[in-house]
Amino acid sequence: MPAPSPRPYRPRAGPAWPKVVLFDLDDTLFDHDHACRSGIARVRRGDARWGGHAAPQLYAEYSRQLEALHPKVLAGVLSTEEARLERFHGLARWCGFEIDRSEAAGFAQQYRQQYLRARRAVPGARAVLERLHGRVTIGVVTNNRVEDQHDKIRAIGIDRRIDFLVISEAVGC
C-alpha cells in the first residue's frame, strides 16, 4: 500500500508578519565578496608578479587564508593589520615568490583602500530592509570586530533600519 501523499501547502489568508527578523551582515546585507574581489584585483593590477594567476584563483586563495586567520583575530592572537600582512605573505608564497614586511604592508594598504572604496550593500538588501522597517524588529547577528561591523553598516547606509546588533567580539564568542 503506497504511503499517503503529503498535504499540499496552503498559504494563510493575508501575510503573517514575524515579530523579529535576523540577518547576518557579511555577504547577506554587506557585499563583502565584492569588496574583497575588488581589493585583490587592485593588488593584482599593481604588480606583475601576481599576473601568473587569474583574479578568481587569487581571490579563492586569499579567502582561504582569510578564513584560516580570522579566528586568531577574533581571539586577539593577531591584530587585524598583522593578519592582513600574513595573508599577503601567504598569498605571495602561494604564487611562488617571497615578499618582505614592507611589500606586504604596501599590498595590504592597496587592498584596504580599494576594499573601502568598493563597499556596497548586497543588491536588494536595502529594499528588503525598507520593506520590513516598521513592521518587524530587525536584528543583525554577525561575527567580527565591533568597529569593523559598525563601519560597514554606516558605509552602506542601513544603520537607521536596524533595531539591534549582536557582534561576536562584543559578546565574547
The pLDDT, as a whole number, for residue 9 is 66
Residues 124 and 113 in one domain: no
Residue type, 17: W
Residues 45 and 104 in one domain: yes
The CA distances from residue 66 to 7, 61, 97, 126, in Å, are 46, 9, 19, 27
Residues 141 and 69 in one domain: no
Mean pLDDT of 130-157: 95
Mean pLDDT of 59-74: 91
The pLDDT, as a whole number, for residue 10 is 64
38: pLDDT confidence band, cut at 50, 70 and 90?
very high
Residues 51 and 110 in one domain: yes
Contact yes or no for 92/98 (Cβ under 8 A)? yes
Residue type, 127: A
- Looking up residue 84, the CATH number of its domain turns out to be 1.10.150
DSSP 96-146: T----HHHHHHHHHHHHHHHHHT--BPTTHHHHHHHHBTTBEEEEEE-S-H
Q: How many domains would you assign to the chain? A: 2
The pLDDT, as a whole number, for residue 86 is 95
Please check the confidence at residue 25 and state whether its pLDDT lies above 90. Answer: yes
Please check the confidence at residue 1 and state whether its pLDDT lies above 80. Answer: no
Instruction: Give the rounded percent of residues in the chain with a pLDDT score beyond 70.
Output: 93
The pLDDT, as a whole number, for residue 13 is 65
Residues 72 and 142 in one domain: no
Residues 47 and 109 in one domain: yes
Write out the residue range of the structural domain in which residue 55 sits.
32-117
Residues 27 and 39 in one domain: no
Please check the confidence at residue 51 and state whether its pLDDT lies above 70. Answer: yes
Q: Give the C-alpha separation, 100 to 147, whole Å.
A: 29
pTM of the model: 0.85
Helix pair angle (80-95, 55-74), 10° resolution? 150
Q: Give the C-alpha separation, 17 to 60, whole Å.
A: 39
39: pLDDT confidence band, cut at 50, 70 and 90?
very high
To the nearest whole number, what is the mean pLDDT of the chain?
91
Please check the confidence at residue 7 and state whether its pLDDT lies above 80. Answer: no
